[in-house]
Structure 1
Amino acid sequence: MSKNSSANSLKRFLLIRTDRIGDTILTLPAVTALRSQYQDAFIAFLAQPYTVPLIEQYVGIDISLSYEPHGRHKGWQGLSKLSHELQELNFDAALLFYPRVKLAFAIAKAGIPVRIGTGYRWYSFLLTERIFEHRKDCQKHEAEYNFSLLESLLPDKNPQPQYKFKQWLPEPWWEDFRTVLNSKDYVIVHPGYGASAPNLNNEQYRLIIRLLLEKTDWTVLLTGIAGEENLVHEIAADFPEERVKRVVGRFSLAEFFSVVRNASLLISSSTGPLHMANAADTPLLGFFCPAKPHTPDRWGPYDQQQWVVTPDLDWPEICELKNCPHGGCLHHLSDVEITEALCTQRLNNL
Structure 2
Amino acid sequence: MSRDFFKRSDVKRLLIRSTNWIGDAVMTTPAVRAIRRHFPGASISLLAKPWVAPVFANSPHVDEIIVYEANGRHRGAMGPIRLARDLRRRDFDAAILLQNAIEAALIAFLAGIPMRVGFDTDARRLLLTHPVRCTKAIKAIHQTGYYLKILEGVGIPPRGQILELSVGDTNRQRAKEILTEQGALPGRRVIGLNPSATFGPAKQWFPERFAVLGDRLSRTLDAAIVIFGGPADRDLGNHIAGMMQAPVVDLSGRTSLGEAMALIERCDAFVTNDSGLMHVAAAVNTPLVAVFGSTNSTTTSPFSSTSRIVRVPIECSPCMKPVCPLGHMNCMRQVSVEVVAEAVEGLL
TM surpasses 0.5: yes
Q: How far 1:84 moved relative to its partner?
A: 2.0
Shift of 1:347: 2.0
- Contact 2:269 2:344 (C-alpha < 8 Å) held by counterparts: no
Q: CA deviation at 1:312?
A: 2.2
Residue aligning to 1:53 = 54
SS of the counterpart of 2:47? strand
Q: How far 1:93 moved relative to its partner?
A: 1.8
Structure 1: give runs of 5+ residues left out of the alignment.
none
Give the equivalent residue in structure 2 for 1:117. 118
- 2:177 alignment partner in structure 1: 175
Q: Helix, strand or coil: the match of 1:248?
A: coil
The alpha-carbon deviation at position 316 of structure 1 amounts to 5.2
Q: Deviations over 1:93-152 (max 9, x none)?
A: 212222233321111122212211221322321011222225798410111111111114
Cα distance, 1:208–1:160 mapped onto 2, change above 3 Å: same
For 2:16 and 2:176, the matched residues in 1 are separated by: 32
Does the alignment pair 1:199 with 2:204?
yes
Aligned to 2:216: 211
Residue in 2 that maps onto 1:284: 288
Contact 1:200 1:330 in 2 (8 A): no
Amino acid at match of 1:223: F
Corresponding position of 2:142: 141
Deviation string 1:225-255 (CA, Å, 9 cap, x unpaired) is 22322222222225346x3112222111111
Is the CA contact (8 Å cut-off) linking 1:199 and 1:330 kept in structure 2?
no
Q: Does the Cα contact within 8 Å between 2:20 and 2:48 map onto a contact in 1? A: yes
1:301 is the counterpart of 2:291: no
Q: Distance in 1 between matches of 2:41 and 2:155?
A: 15
* TM-score normalised according to structure 1 size: 0.88
Paired AA for residue 346 in structure 2: N
Structure 2 residue ranges without an equivalent (≥5): none
Q: Over residues 159-192 of structure 1, what are the superposed CA-to-partner deviations in whole Å (9 max), with x where a residue is unaligned?
A: 3222344464243573353242332321110111
Cα 1:138–1:313, aligned 2, differ >3 Å: closer, same or farther? farther
Distance 1:216 1:111, change over 3 A: same
Deviation track 1:292-322 (CA, whole Å, cap 9, x = no partner) reads xx20111110124851111121335633442
- Percent of matched pairs sharing the same residue: 23
Q: How does 1:300-319 map to 2 (within 5 A)?
A: 300-304=301-305, 307-315=308-316, 318-319=319-320
Decide whether aligned partners of structure 1 residues 73 and 141 sit closer, same or farther in structure 2, where only a CA change above 3 A counts: same
Q: Secondary structure at the match of 1:99?
A: coil
2:344 aligns with 346
Residue 65 of structure 1: CA displacement?
0.9
Instruction: Find the partner of 1:225 among 224, 230, 234.
Output: 230
Verify the 8 A CA contact 1:267 1:285 in the aligned structure 2. Answer: yes
Give the conservation status (yes or no) of the 8 Å contact 1:287–1:330. Answer: no
Q: How does 1:178-189 map to 2 (within 5 A)?
A: 178-183=180-185, 184=187, 185-189=189-193
Alpha-carbon deviation of 1:215?
1.3
Asked if the contact 1:138–1:297 (Cα under 8 Å) also holds between the matched residues in 2, the reply is: no
Comparing 206-215 with 305-314, greater Cα deviation is found at 305-314
Aligned length: 342
Q: CA deviation at 1:224?
A: 2.1
Query: What residue number does 1:94 align with?
Result: 95
1:8-38: CA deviation from partner (whole Å, max 9, x where unpaired): 2223221112411111111122111112222
- 1:21-72 residue CA offsets vs partner (Å, 9 max, x unmatched): 1111111221111122222221111111122123112221100111123321
Q: Distance in 2 between matches of 1:186 and 1:304?
A: 20
Quote the residue 1:247 is aligned against.
251
SS in 1 for 2:302: coil
Alignment-derived partner of residue 74 in structure 1: 75
Match of 1:274 in 2: 278
- TM-score, normalised with respect to structure 2: 0.88
Using the TM superposition, give the Cα deviation of residue 258 of structure 1 relative to its aligned residue in structure 2, in angstroms.
0.9
Change (3 A) 1:167 1:188: closer
Partner of 1:235: 240
Name the CA distance, whole Å, in 2 between partners of 1:218 and 1:83: 50
Q: 3-state SS of the aligned residue for 2:346?
A: helix
- The Cα RMSD (Å) is 2.5
SS at match of 2:255: coil
2:12 aligned residue? 11
| Distance of 1:302 and 1:219 partners within structure 2 | 26
